[in-house]
Structure 1
Amino acid sequence: MTTISTSQQVEETRAEKTAARRVGRPYVHPYLGGILLGLVLFATFFLTGNGLGASGGMNRFVVWFEDIFAPGHVDRTAYLTSMAGGSTNPFDSWVVFVFVGLFVGGILSGQVFGRSQFKTESGPRTPARARWLFAFLGGSIMGYGARMARGCTSGQALSGGAVLSVGSWAFMFAVFAGGYAVAYFVRKLWN
């Protein structure tokens, strides 16, 4: 008969609790999630007079950072100066706080629901480097498109779609059509 010391039992209990904590809770039902998102969007319109959006806040952070290293460039470009540079404070914009709330809320949600972990999702024959490269490329294209469209999917599709903006609906149809069109060419990254 093997005797287990108290310290070994404590270590095993800690390991079991850690493993249990890492198991993610189930996702919320999609219809309930949609209703909750609609209520948040309504509350945002009602309380602030603005819709939801995140790319504008991220853009102001980037321009603020750029202004630290290349203030002359920022001050010569009207588009950039409207966000930072000169006497413009990028943190005076409501969208910066939406972005910060989105970022902090995502981290807290991941911790509370047991989904925070560092790993690279990819197909069995796709190296992690390739996955990172394509994720960076796709994110860059999406970020550029968000600035060209004057809003990200949350700003355009949710906020614009909620007020029945034709441009927002066209944007959302284009996002889905583009996603389906490109999916065929990148499917090998997942199998």
Structure 2
Amino acid sequence: MTTQTRKSIFNRPEKAYVQPYLGGAILGIVLFLAFLLTGNGLGSSGATSRIDAALVDAIAPAHVDNTPYLLKMAGGDKNPLDDWIVPVFFGALFGGFTSGAFNGRLKITTTKGPNISNRTRWLMAFLGGVIFLYGARMARGCTSGQALSGGATLAAGSWVIMFAIFGGAYAVAYFVRKLWL
């Protein structure tokens, strides 16, 4: 099927993507407005940590009280979901879902090369996501927080992290390229 004839879950034809430079300019405006209106940039790994802290606090509150990392976000009277990053996170999920629905891209599919099974692709994507999220928390921010927000403020650590991410991706690409060809 061509791009024009594929249908999404809501039976809409797939539309073309936004021109990348226009998308980048819009993202820059959104980032500027985030700094202007909230005093914070954009990011999402902090929200996943807070959601995790809320789940742990609901299931095993004693564990939260004995774990310094979780205690910063939860424990006692603290509500881990009471932070600006949580609505940003859910807003990004809802916005992506809505955009996919309106533009005919909301469909269940597995993007992969011919030399990898769906199961292996999902397993590798999950494993990569877990490792990346762990690294994001170690680096004190995810790629959107580091690259967009930190890069926009010219934070040296953010630039170092982004060069390390791209360098790591290029280094690993050699070993997994056969799966995509």
- Which residue is equivalent to 1:30? 20
- Which residue is equivalent to 2:42? 52
C-alpha displacement at 1:48, in angstroms? 0.5
For 1:126, what is the secondary structure of its paired residue?
coil
Q: Deviations over 1:65-117 (max 9, x none)?
A: 12222211111112101112321101210011110111111110110111011
- Looking at both structures, which has the greater relative contact order when contacts are Cα pairs under 8 Å and sequence separation is at least 6? 2
What is the alpha-carbon distance in structure 2 between the residues aligned to residue 118 and residue 189 of structure 1? 21
Contact 1:41/1:52 (<8 A) preserved: yes
For 2:81, what is the secondary structure of its paired residue?
helix
Contact 1:67/1:74 (<8 A) preserved: yes
Normalising by structure 1, we get a TM-score of: 0.87
- Which residue is equivalent to 2:106? 116
Normalising by structure 2, we get a TM-score of: 0.92
Contact 1:120/1:128 (<8 A) preserved: yes
- Which residue is equivalent to 1:70? 60
Q: Could you tell me which runs of 5 or more consecutive residues in structure 1 were left unpaired when the two chains were aligned.
A: 1-15
Contact 1:90/1:96 (<8 A) preserved: no
What is the alpha-carbon distance in structure 1 between the residues aligned to residue 136 and residue 62 of structure 2? 25
Larger radius of gyration: 1
Equivalent residue runs for 1:100-179 within 5 Å: 100-179=90-169
For 1:25, what is the secondary structure of its paired residue?
coil
For 2:104, what is the secondary structure of its paired residue?
coil
What is the alpha-carbon distance in structure 2 between the residues aligned to residue 121 and residue 189 of structure 1? 12
Q: Deviations over 1:147-177 (max 9, x none)?
A: 0000001101100000100000001111110
- Aligned-pair RMSD on alpha carbons? 1.8
Letter of the structure 2 residue corresponding to residue 167 of structure 1: G
C-alpha displacement at 1:46, in angstroms? 0.4
What is the alpha-carbon distance in structure 2 between the residues aligned to residue 36 and residue 21 of structure 1? 28
For 1:125, what is the secondary structure of its paired residue?
coil
Q: Could you tell me which runs of 5 or more consecutive residues in structure 2 were left unpaired when the two chains were aligned.
A: none
Letter of the structure 1 residue corresponding to residue 172 of structure 2: V
Letter of the structure 1 residue corresponding to residue 79 of structure 2: N
- Which residue is equivalent to 2:88? 98
- Which residue is equivalent to 1:10? none
- What is the number of equivalent residue pairs in this alignment? 176
